[in-house]
Amino acid sequence: MSDFQLKPADLPSWSQRTALRVLGLFGWRMLYRPLPGPRGIAVIYPHTSNWDFMVGLFGKWALNLPFRWLAKDSLFKLPVLGKWFRALGGEPVERGTPSGTIKLQAQRMNAADWYWVGITPEATRGYRPNWKSGFYHLALEAKVPLALVYIDYPNKTLGLVDHVFLTGDQEADMAAIRAGFEGHQGLYPRNAAPIVLQERRADPRD
């Protein structure tokens, strides 16, 4: 894995080098392997702390790639914060129409020259017994790969190395995802959800 460790000297711009050095000041290192294509989903796990956002944000700045991230639409209606979230790559999602959202999001991804979106399948920092399945169905619908992103607090490592190409065989696909995240723990390990998919619901979510 050391072959994938980013160093400031490897980065072309001052802002990228500064972002990576800030991570380094707090003891973090970043592992990165080039993405497997111009479109895909960055699956971020485990997500157990608000600090995950800051670690991930500095990693995004170090790479200088326009990653997007999805969040409930109510966040983008907040004064000032809504505009800031959009400036950071955030895009609102209406949770009431899951199937329609997946189809529209897939069309949006494939219409763009470059579109990688970060998704936290736990959808909460607290414990839940499974992952939400939206990311999986979106990847299949859009026919895009996954990049597994872990924020490993015991080892102070932000990793974006492993890629998964879904087959549609859910059991095999989830086994590959579990293997990629094995051994990486969040700030509060007891809050990490088991890497199993929640059954997809056909009825609208609240």
Look at residue 1 in the predicted model and tell me its pLDDT. 57
Annotate 29-51 with three-state secondary structure. EEEECCCCCCEEEEEECCCCCCH
**pLDDT value for 94:** 66
Q: How far apart are CA 85 and CA 92, in angstroms?
A: 9
Give the residue extent of every domain in the chain: 27-191
Closest CA to 7 of 25, 27, 26, 31: 31
Helix or strand (DSSP H, E) at 141:
helix 134-142
**pLDDT tens profile 91-121:** 877 655 554 578 888 999 999 999 999 999 9
Judge if pTM exceeds 0.85.
Answer: yes
- Give the pLDDT of residue 128: 82
Residue 95's pLDDT is 59
The distance between the two most distant Cα atoms of the chain, rounded to a whole number of Å, is 51
Q: How far apart are CA 179 and CA 82, in angstroms?
A: 36
pLDDT value of position 98: 55
Positions of the chain with pLDDT lower than 50, given as ranges: 99, 203-206
